[in-house]
Structures are given as structure tokens and as C-alpha cells.
């Protein structure tokens, strides 16, 4: 067995429309959306009576996808929407951008705040963390070197 590619990263959210708008603002494209339910999904995820709304978004290059999910049933468990970057588990998603200042300005116009600041890593990158809806941490990275 050999892994062929990463298929997607799933993110469970309470406000699906806000999450979709956030990732579209970042430049991802909506690839599809709709309800998912039935015995087959119950068996796959190991839950009973699953009813979930899904929005699949993808990066412009076609290589990265996020599956945004709002569980109608069973009710999603509440996590810590303010967990810091050193909390165990999947903590952030990183995206390469061509202009970090423009990306940050566009997000700030939508009320998104930086976690820290925009910083330079050697002569290679400018980086920052922003916290999106549901407490999702996104790292933006602009290659400069």
C-alpha cells in the first residue's frame, strides 16, 4: 500500500456559512456542498443517525481540499475555540499566499484578528497566524527568498 495523496482535511463547525465565507475570502473555491446521511455514513464514522451538511472547498491549484461539516445529528461536541497553538491535536492549517499584507488586510476587513504578528523567518518567508471562525488557526505564508 502506498498513499497517493492527501484527500482532504475535515473540520467540524457550528456556523457553516461563516466558515465557508472565511475560506472563500482566503481564496479557496467551493467545489460542492450538500447533505450527507444514511446507514453507510453511520458505519464509516461510527455514529448513529448521522445527518451532516458538507461544503468542500479547494485551493486554486487543485491540490488541497477542506471538508467543512456541520452536524445536524448527532449534535457536535463543543471544543475550545480559543485553544493556543501548543494544544495537543491538529492545531492549524497553513496556506501559501502571494501577498501576505493584502491577505491580512482582507481578513481584517471581515473582522478576523491576527493571533500574533506578521513575522519574517530568515530570508525565506513572512508568516502569521490568524484565528478564523470556530477558533480555527490559519497560518499564512509568503515566500520571499
Domain boundaries in the chain? 9-73, 92-143
Predicted local distance difference test score (pLDDT) of residue 90 = 82
> Are the beta carbons of 101 and 119 closer than 8 angstroms?
no
10 phi and psi angles, rounded to 5 deg: -95, 135
| Domains 9-73 and 92-143 agree in fold | yes
Which of 3.10.180.10, 3.10.580.10, 3.30.70.260, 3.40.640.10 would CATH assign to domain 92-143?
3.10.180.10
Which triple of cell numbers denotes residue 105?
A: 488586510
pLDDT digits (tens, 9 = 90+) for 25-45: 999 999 999 999 999 999 999
Residue in the structure block whose three cell numbers are 455514513: 41
pLDDT class of 72 with cuts at 50, 70, 90: very high
- Residue 142's CB: how many other CB atoms inside 10 A? 20
Instruction: Name the fold adopted by 9-73.
Output: 2,3-Dihydroxybiphenyl 1,2-Dioxygenase; domain 1 (3.10.180)
Which triple of cell numbers denotes residue 4?
A: 497517493
pLDDT digits (tens, 9 = 90+) for 100-138: 999 999 999 988 989 999 999 999 999 999 998 888 999
Which triple of cell numbers denotes residue 67?
A: 471538508
DSSP bridge partners of 56 = 32, 67
User: pTM of the prediction?
Assistant: 0.88
> Are the beta carbons of 24 and 68 closer than 8 angstroms?
no
The 3-state secondary structure of 93-123 reads: EEEECCCHHHHHHHHHHCCCEECCCCEEECC
Which triple of cell numbers denotes residue 109?
A: 476587513
Better-scored residue on pLDDT, 5 or 54: 54
Amino acid at each position: 500500500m502506498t498513499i497517493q495523496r492527501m484527500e482532504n482535511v475535515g473540520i467540524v463547525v457550528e456556523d457553516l456559512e461563516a466558515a465557508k465565507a472565511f475560506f472563500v475570502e482566503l481564496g479557496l473555491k467551493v467545489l460542492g456542498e450538500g447533505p450527507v446521511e444514511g446507514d453507510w455514513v453511520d458505519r464509516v464514522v461510527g455514529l448513529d443517525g448521522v445527518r451532516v451538511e458538507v461544503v468542500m472547498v479547494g485551493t486554486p491549484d487543485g491540490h488541497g481540499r477542506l471538508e467543512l461539516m456541520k452536524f445536524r445529528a448527532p449534535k457536535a461536541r463543543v471544543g475550545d475555540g480559543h485553544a493556543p497553538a501548543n494544544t495537543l491535536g491538529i492545531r492549524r492549517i497553513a496556506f501559501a499566499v502571494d501577498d501576505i499584507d493584502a491577505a491580512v488586510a482582507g481578513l481584517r476587513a471581515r473582522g478576523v484578528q491576527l493571533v500574533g504578528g506578521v513575522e519574517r523567518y530568515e530570508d525565506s518567508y513572512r508568516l502569521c497566524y490568524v484565528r478564523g471562525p470556530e477558533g480555527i488557526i490559519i497560518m499564512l505564508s509568503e515566500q520571499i527568498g
